[in-house]
Structure formats: C-alpha cells, structure tokens
Chain A
C-alpha cells in the first residue's frame, strides 16, 4: 500500500514552496496582485492534485477530500473579487484573508495525513494584512 501520508506531505511542501515563490518574485501591494498570487497557488495546487490522481499517486478519495476544502478556498477568492468590484476594498481584503484561512484548513487536513511538517516549511500567509490603497 502506498504511503499517502508522504504524498500529501510532499504536496503540502510544494504548496508552501510556491507560496514562498509567488510572494518572493514580486511583493504584492495591491488587492489584485495579492489576488493574482492567491489564484496562482490555487490553480497550481489543484492541477497538481489532478495530475497526482491521474498518475495514481493518490486515491480518488484523497482528491475528493482536497476538492471539498479547495472549494471553500475558491469560494472565498470569488467572493473577494466580487466585493472588490463592488468598490469595497477593505471588505475585499478581509475576504482574501478568509481565503487564506481556507488555505490553512487545507494545511490542517494535509497535516492530519502524516507527521507534522518542519516549521521552516510551513506555508506562509498568502495575504499579509488588509490595506487601504485602492489605486
């Protein structure tokens, strides 16, 4: 039987890496650029899970569990954008932080699949703090 814990840990470490990378390339200071970084993390993680399932490195149940949590993450991102487009930047930033919370839930799920990950590899927040610099 495969060690799914190891697979999930690997997946999570990769998510942490991309979060570091996306935050490191260009420091995002605006709502939309932070949103862009969050979407890149979401898209990359989701496509990686799909690929892992296709290559039978994880089970369908593992992928479904990811999808359940990821949908919350995605919903938060969509709501954040809707609120931003309605002109409420402060609330939009708060919604992005909620999306970050969904990401932390995903981390908890992945952590539950195996031993804790080294602190240095824990995912940083994709959103640092709310700002009020609309334009």
Chain B
C-alpha cells in the first residue's frame, strides 16, 4: 500500500508540476512586460480547465459503466 501511495504521489506531483510549468512562461512574460495576460492567453487557460473537466467526466462515466 505504501508503495502504491508513493507511485500515486509521484504521478500526481508530475501532473501538477506539468500544469504549473505550462502557465509559467506566459506569467513571466506578462510580469516582465508589466501587463495583464491577454484575452487569448486567458482563453487558453480556460480551455485547459475545460479539457480537464471533460477528462474527469469521461473517467467518471467509464467507472459508472464498469460498475453496472
């Protein structure tokens, strides 16, 4: 169980760091230029959240089908 949890921790950290890194370049650039993120950049962030929501919905639906 401990080993399984360790594996889970590693995979979760990797996923979370990946998401953080994905937005860092835009943040660094905006801060360096002393400006807000553009609408296009904000739309990209929103789309990433939409995609994550869709992925979770799909996995929950799949789990429900499996349980039937």
Point out residues on A near B: beta carbons under 8 Å: 2-3, 6-7, 10-11, 13-15, 17-18, 21-22, 25-33, 35-37, 39-55, 57, 59-60, 63-64, 66-67, 70, 74, 77-78, 81, 85, 134-135
Contacts and interface: CB of A to CB of B under 8 A. Distances in A.
Contacts, number: 160
A65 B45 CA distance: 24
Interface in B21-61: 22-24, 26-28, 30-31, 35-37, 39, 41-42, 45-46, 48-49, 51-53, 55-60
A135 B15 contact: no
A63 B19 contact: no
A78 B47 CA distance: 12
Contact of A36 (B12, B45, B51, B52): B45
Contacts of B12: 10-11, 14, 48, 51-52
Interface of B: 1, 4-5, 8-9, 11-13, 15-20, 22-24, 26-28, 30-31, 35-37, 39, 41-42, 45-46, 48-49, 51-53, 55-60, 62-64, 67
Given A21-B17, A47-B15, A48-B16, A77 B31 contact: no
24 contacts: A2-B1, A11-B8, A14-B13, A17-B13, A18-B17, A26-B24, A33-B31, A39-B48, A40-B19, A40-B20, A40-B45, A41-B19, A45-B16, A46-B56, A48-B16, A50-B58, A50-B59, A53-B56, A55-B11, A63-B56, A66-B56, A67-B57, A74-B53, A77-B49
